[in-house]
């Protein structure tokens, strides 16, 4: 099995083929048979996990596992504490709310590199860096979140996937996960079964608890005698009836 971490450059597709001739991961990771776990937008940068371990790929891609991903986000303007509180609490996306997130203002990351295409710059509007950690995978979620609170995203870098960080990995470079990293990654998601392994349990008949109280019968109903509990009426002697005598 192969487990690879790659730093996807700006304007590179998170796939290995493209009919329109755009740059893909194939130009950076010449390893056959591995596929991305999840996605990272064409205009975003940073970490993507690749593997040929299908069960692990399914687990990490399943939303219910809530894999935390941390992003460095350059936004236009200087976010207020109110805006940060909204990001943390959950943002109204019209059709739904985002789950609670971690969000804070940070200095420009020391590990950051120059992007191949500079960001949109306006001299009269400052920019700020945020660190945002989410566990959802909605389409362009972080960009929509910052825009919703009034601070559009100018640059987005995925800096961490669970415990895997971007430190020491230049754009376009990749590395194999260490045995310890693989072990930790699998352990984090081994408690819950793969979605493909889930089955509907067969229905079983309910049995009464040992000390259960029998339900009350409607008033006026009499139990029907059965077996040994039935009382036998005396047999009438036809002759005695005619003679006025009882047996």
CA atoms within 13 A on the CB side of 165: 5
The per-residue pLDDT for 115 is 92
53 is catalytic: no
Q: Indicate the domain borders of the chain.
A: 1-66+162-195, 68-161
Tell whether the model's pLDDT for residue 200 goes beyond 50: no
Residues 41-75: b if buried by 16+ CB within 10 A, e if exposed: beebbbbbbbbebeebbebbbbeebebebbbbbbb
Beta bridge partners of 48: 6
Asked: is 1-66+162-195 a CATH 3.30.70.580 domain? The reply is: yes
How far is 4 from 178, CA to CA, in rounded Å?
9
Tell whether the model's pLDDT for residue 3 goes beyond 70: yes
| Range of weakest confidence among 78-82, 91-95, 126-130, 232-236 | 232-236
Kindly report, residue by residue over 11-63, the tens digit of the pLDDT: 999 999 999 999 999 999 999 999 999 899 999 999 999 999 998 888 887 76
Which of these is catalytic: 18, 41, 53, 92? 41
Superfamily of domain 68-161 in the CATH hierarchy = Alpha-L RNA-binding motif (3.30.70.1560)
């Amino acid at each position: 099995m192969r487990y690879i971490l790659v730093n996807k450059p700006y304007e590179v597709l998170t796939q290995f083929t493209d009919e329109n001739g755009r740059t893909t991961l194939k130009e950076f990771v010449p390893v056959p048979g591995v596929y991305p776990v999840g996605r990272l937008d064409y205009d975003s940068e940073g970490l993507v996990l690749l593997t040929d371990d299908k069960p692990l790929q399914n687990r990490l891609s399943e939303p219910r596992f809530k894999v935390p991903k941390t992003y460095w986000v350059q936004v236009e303007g200087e976010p207020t504490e109110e805006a940060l509180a909204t990001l943390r609490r959950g943002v109204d996306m019209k059709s739904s709310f985002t789950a609670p997130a971690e969000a804070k203002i940070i200095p420009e990351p020391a590990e950051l590199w120059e992007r191949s295409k500079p960001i949109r710059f306006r001299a009269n509007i400052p920019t700020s860096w945020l660190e945002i950690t989410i566990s959802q995978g909605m389409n362009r979620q972080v960009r929509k979140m910052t825009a919703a609170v009034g601070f559009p995203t100018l640059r987005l870098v995925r800096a961490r996937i669970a415990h895997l960080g971007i430190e020491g990995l230049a754009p376009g470079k990749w590395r194999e996960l260490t045995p310890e990293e693989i072990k930790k990654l699998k352990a984090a998601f081994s408690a819950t079964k793969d979605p493909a392994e889930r089955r509907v349990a067969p229905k079983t008949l309910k049995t009464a608890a040992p000390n259960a109280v029998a339900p009350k019968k409607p008033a006026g109903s009499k139990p029907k005698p059965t077996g040994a509990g039935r009382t036998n009426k005396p047999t009438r002697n036809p002759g005695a009836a005619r003679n006025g005598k009882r047996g």
